[in-house]
Amino acid sequence: MDHHQIGKVTATRIAEREPFAEALTSFFPDMPKEAVTANTHWLAPHHYDLASQSLLLHFHSWLVRTEHHTILVDTCNGNHKPRAGYAMSDQLNTPFLERLNDAGAAPDDIDFVMCTHLHGDHVGWNTRLHNNEWVPTFPNATYLMSKIEHDTWAERAKDPARPERQRATYLDSVLPVVQRGMARMVEGAHAVDDSFTIHPAPGHTPGTCRADLASGGKHAMFCGDILHSPLQVEYWRINSRACEDQKMATQSRREVLSVCAERHGLLMPMHFGPPFVSYIRATPEGGFALDMNI
């Protein structure tokens, strides 16, 4: 399902590219083999490829319409971005903007772009290539990003020892909106309006954020890369190889799952396969379980 009603707010999934396969054992180095074996009956075929034993990463943004604003949460990989050695993002050419239009929103209609963090597969459509220049894709939008996150990647972009794709991500997908005065640096909790609030959730990166929706007694949460796979709901202590601060990433993941379970909020990740979202319930043992009966 690609469209969800949360009180008076709507959230629509905007797909970018086909799923990308990553060897599960290298992406989750600490994931017990028995955890995968015990769950392949539901992980495959949407979240896991049995033949290659690979995690399937899906890529999408969420188009959120509150009573006051139109918000795009994360912007995937983008088109024509040079990401040498990184096949997931390198020189893509997808109909992402056409799909956004099909959902009823043109780039000019977006009021806010919310960046959960500044990895290349979450900020790529912040900009597009026009006359050999990277320009903001959403000309009327304010781009919301953590100040800690921005400052971290701005410094890293100057470091020649950093991988080229990381430096390029900041230079072609973040800096152009900052230079034009279109970025708003967020510190701590930040209410965009009365139904959409940004909260710090560090660990995956230093300034990773989540966004909470609340409307008409209903709740949802956009969690970025705090979770990559539904397998991390039960195995919430397991981080991906991309999580920079392992302890904080685990703490943020537990908080996300706890809040969703307490509020009966819909978890809306960026990389899950169908049905792409899930409710979360607390278990008697103090853990968490999926409820994909949407």
Q: Quick: pLDDT tens for 169-205.
A: 999 999 999 999 999 999 999 999 999 999 999 999 9
Is residue 294 pLDDT above 70, yes or no?
no
pLDDT at residue 43, as a whole number: 96
Give the residue-averaged pLDDT of 267-291. 95
Is residue 236 pLDDT above 70, yes or no?
yes
Residue 257 belongs to a domain: no
Q: Quick: pLDDT tens for 36-85.
A: 999 999 999 999 999 999 999 999 999 999 999 999 999 999 999 999 88
Is residue 282 pLDDT above 70, yes or no?
yes
Q: Domain limits at 110?
A: 3-200+207-214
Residue 15 belongs to a domain: yes
Query: What is the phi-psi region of residue 68: left when phi exceeds 0, alpha when psi lies from -120 to 50, beta otherwise?
Result: alpha
Share of the chain above pLDDT 90, in %: 97
Task: Count the domains in the chain.
Answer: 1
Residue 172 belongs to a domain: yes
pLDDT at residue 230, as a whole number: 97
Among the residue ranges 136-140, 159-163, 253-257, the one predicted with the least confidence is 159-163
Residue 24 belongs to a domain: yes
Is residue 293 pLDDT above 90, yes or no?
no
Residue 277 belongs to a domain: no
CATH number of residue 70's parent domain: 3.60.15.10
Residue 287 belongs to a domain: no
pLDDT at residue 291, as a whole number: 87
Residue 103 belongs to a domain: yes
pLDDT at residue 1, as a whole number: 55
Residue 274 belongs to a domain: no
What's the whole-model pTM score?
0.96
